[in-house]
């Protein structure tokens, strides 16, 4: 894994702020040529360091969403964990899945078209799994990152 340069990090920061910026706009911001920006961006994507993705704005659609912090029992087998993760990745209502460190092992983002459906999906994920030790459900209210809202502005609204 090669280290990212200062320019790489500047490019990533700009794309995080607005992923729709064109190579020409990025070039102006970075003081580089358009072809240099395109090469740098394509290289970051090819190496797997950068992935351009969309944020679904659930609150704009009126869809409820939640995150589940999941603690697995220490004795869970690798096979059971991989099978569970594959099931989550294949679930059309799971929009995010991360292995995390700390008191919990997984962070699962779930959405649905209504509260009753969301409740059922969360129950389908959690119930009847002996390897789940504990969980916390955090209901989503507003997705600040996808709206490009700065932290101080988020506190005011």
Domain-located, residue 66: yes
Residues 97, 106 contacting (CB under 8 angstroms): yes
pLDDT value of position 140: 82
Q: What is the CATH number of the domain that holds 20?
A: 1.10.10
pLDDT digits (tens, 9 = 90+) for 14-63: 998 888 899 999 999 999 999 999 999 999 999 989 887 777 788 888 89
Are 19 and 79 found together in one domain? no
CA distances from 53 to 50, 56, 137, 145 (A): 9, 10, 25, 13
Residue with structure tokens 């389908």? 124
Whether residue 99 contacts residue 143, with contact meaning beta carbons closer than 8 Å, is answered with no
Give tens-digit pLDDT for 125-153.
Answer: 999 999 999 999 999 876 665 555 554 54
157 lies in some domain: no
| Pair 112, 63: CB distance under 8 Å | yes
| Domain of residue 22, residue span | 6-46
User: What does the pLDDT average to over 110-137?
Assistant: 95
Same-domain check for residues 121 and 97: yes
Q: Give just the sign of the alpha carbon dihedral 4, 10, 13, 18.
A: negative
39 and 94 in a single domain? The answer is no
Q: Taking 50 as the threshold, does the pLDDT of residue 154 lie above it?
A: no
Position 151 scores a pLDDT of 47
Relative to beta strand 106-111, strand 94-99 is: antiparallel
């Amino acid at each position: 894994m090669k280290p990212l340069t200062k320019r790489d990090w500047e490019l990533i920061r700009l794309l995080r702020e607005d992923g729709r910026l064109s190579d020409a706009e990025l070039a102006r911001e970075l003081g580089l040529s358009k072809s240099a920006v395109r090469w740098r961006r394509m290289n970051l994507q090819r190496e797997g360091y950068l992935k351009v993705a969309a944020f679904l704005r659930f609150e704009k659609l009126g869809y409820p969403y939640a995150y589940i912090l999941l603690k697995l029992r220490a004795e869970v087998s690798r096979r059971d964990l991989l099978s569970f993760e594959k099931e989550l990745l294949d679930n059309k209502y799971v929009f995010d899945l991360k292995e995390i460190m700390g008191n919990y092992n997984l962070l699962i983002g779930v959405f649905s078209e209504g509260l009753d459906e969301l409740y059922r999906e969360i129950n389908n994920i959690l119930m009847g799994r002996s390897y789940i030790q504990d969980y916390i459900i955090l209901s989503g209210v507003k997705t600040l990152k996808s709206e490009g809202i700065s932290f101080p502005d988020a506190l005011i609204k």
